[in-house]
Amino acid sequence: MTHILIVEDNTSLAEGLRDNLELEGFVVTIAESGRAALVEARRLTPDLIILDLMLPELDGYHVLRALREQGVDTPILILTARGEEADKVRGFRIGADDYVTKPFGLMELIARVYALLRRARGAVAGRQSPLPPCVRFGDVEVYPGRRMVLRGGQQVELRPKEFDLLVALIAQDGNAITRKDLLVQVWGYDAGTASRTVDTHIGELRRKLEKDPTSPQHILTVRKSGYRFQV
């Protein structure tokens, strides 16, 4: 059965989430501190982690960084009251897969849980258009089959969602794709879900791959629509 670890020091919130996720058929464990989260993550190897940022002992950023540095690639959804753009960007840079701010809609949260689990199981990979073994633009080389990106001959570390987003853009063969379609293809969200997730990840891709992220030459914004990739 699918096991979810909730890291949350608000007992009533954690138990409410646990009850609703258990109704969906998940096995749920709660950790109420950062240190407990690291212990439980190693002991249980959960399928997904829901992580608060403001925790006793170790905050969520430290937990997230520690797990990624240990090679843990479990999907991690940050659930926090800290909704500033800088907080979200920091979370994604460290290795978060999704970010939800409190207060939140329960049904949307559950939908995001399912979406992350589908991505982890490789559901999206089978829907992507075939690509050549290597795609080159500027000083960047993308190897879709090897899930590897080089820039100037040096490997670039992309988070799984960043890589999948890049491949989804490349697969459009120069055509524009909307934010909603990217949410469906890359994250598995319902097309009606509103999210800044795409924009935040686009910003990270530009930062890592564009010569001048403020004036991108390859990952382009299409006004009132979405994004387009050009070689």
Ranges of each domain in the chain: 3-120, 125-229
Length of the chain, please? Answer: 231
Q: How many CB atoms lie within 10 A of CB 158?
A: 20
125-229 folds as Arc Repressor Mutant, subunit A (1.10.10)
Residue 192 pLDDT greater than 80, yes or no: no
69 phi-psi bin (left φ>0, alpha ψ -120 to 50, beta other): alpha
Q: What is the pTM of this model?
A: 0.59
pLDDT at 149: 93
- Listed in sequence order, the residues at least 6 apart from 6 whose beta carbon sits closer than 8 Å to its beta carbon are 14, 17, 18, 21, 28, 29, 30, 31, 49, 50
Residue 127 pLDDT greater than 70, yes or no: no
Q: Provide mean pLDDT across the span 130-155.
A: 88
3-120 folds as Rossmann fold (3.40.50)
Tell me the per-residue pLDDT of 104-122, one tens digit each, with 9 for 90 and over.
Answer: 889 889 988 988 887 776 5
pLDDT at 117: 85
DSSP code at position 145:
T
Residue 137 pLDDT greater than 90, yes or no: yes
Which of the given ranges, 30-34, 94-98, 123-127, has the highest pLDDT on average? Answer: 30-34
Query: Rounded distance, CA 165 to CA 115, Å?
Result: 15
The confidence band for 37, taking pLDDT boundaries of 50, 70 and 90, is very high
The confidence band for 151, taking pLDDT boundaries of 50, 70 and 90, is very high
